[in-house]
Amino acid sequence: METHGTIAPASLADAEAAFDRAGPTAQVVVRETAKAMEFDRDEYRDRVTGDVIETVRNALFAESLAVHVGSRAEFDDWCSGHPEYEVVELGNPDVERVAWHAVPFAETVVATTFQNERDAAVSTLRRNAFGRLYRDAILGTEATESEASADDTDTDTDPDDPGGEGSEGGDR
């Protein structure tokens, strides 16, 4: 079994603190991206909104979540050791590889199965965990149906698709 990522909050307060720490990084990423795109002052003011920075913060937080990757047997063993957790499993239960992220404050583990595309599975899992469990808990608002749908299905972001509704098959 392997673990990828650094954010594994044990409590909602830990998740909120990690989310807050991503805010300044999101601002720097957006500012530097705007510079690279040669936005002038007016264009920056017009195009870089709070929603843009919030979207980057959401992505930075989600993509940093700790994800365990292992065999079906390793995942089943983990579940046996944590019977109090609700299991939300995406994908085919007959596939041998599983990626999962546990959310202790929600007593839920979100998992996705995969055969070969580990990086795509991990990224998809992170967005699903954020959309299903963290977004509402941290932001205090319910995800819209379109946001939840994007979290469920989007597995790749096309650099030519700034809306993030890319095709399946790779990392975000």
Which string of DSSP letters, residue by residue, matches 111-157? Answer: EEEESS-HHHHHHHHHHHHIIIIIHHHHHSSPPPHHHHHHHHH----
- Mean pLDDT for 64-92 is 97
- Mean pLDDT for 8-28 is 96
Q: How far apart are CA 154 and CA 126, in angstroms?
A: 11
The model scores a pTM over 0.85 = no
pLDDT recorded at residue 157: 32
pLDDT recorded at residue 57: 97
> pLDDT above 70 covers what percent of the chain?
81
pLDDT recorded at residue 134: 97
pLDDT recorded at residue 140: 84
> pLDDT above 90 covers what percent of the chain?
79
Residue 101 pLDDT greater than 70, yes or no: yes
Pull the structure tokens for residue 17: 């603190």
Longest dimension (CA), the chain: 57
- Mean pLDDT for 65-69 is 98
Contact 57, 23 (CB under 8 A): yes
Q: How far apart are CA 32 and CA 68, in angstroms?
A: 32
pLDDT band for position 141 (cuts 50, 70, 90): low
Residue 44 pLDDT greater than 70, yes or no: yes
Residue 45 pLDDT greater than 60, yes or no: yes
Question: Which conformational region is residue 5 in: left (phi greater than 0), alpha (psi within -120 to 50 degrees), or beta?
Answer: left
Query: What tens digit of pLDDT does each residue of 151-168 get?
Result: 443 433 333 333 333 333
Higher pLDDT, 172 or 65: 65
Q: Which helix (H) or strand (E) holds 108?
A: strand 108-114
Beta bridge partners of 86: 108
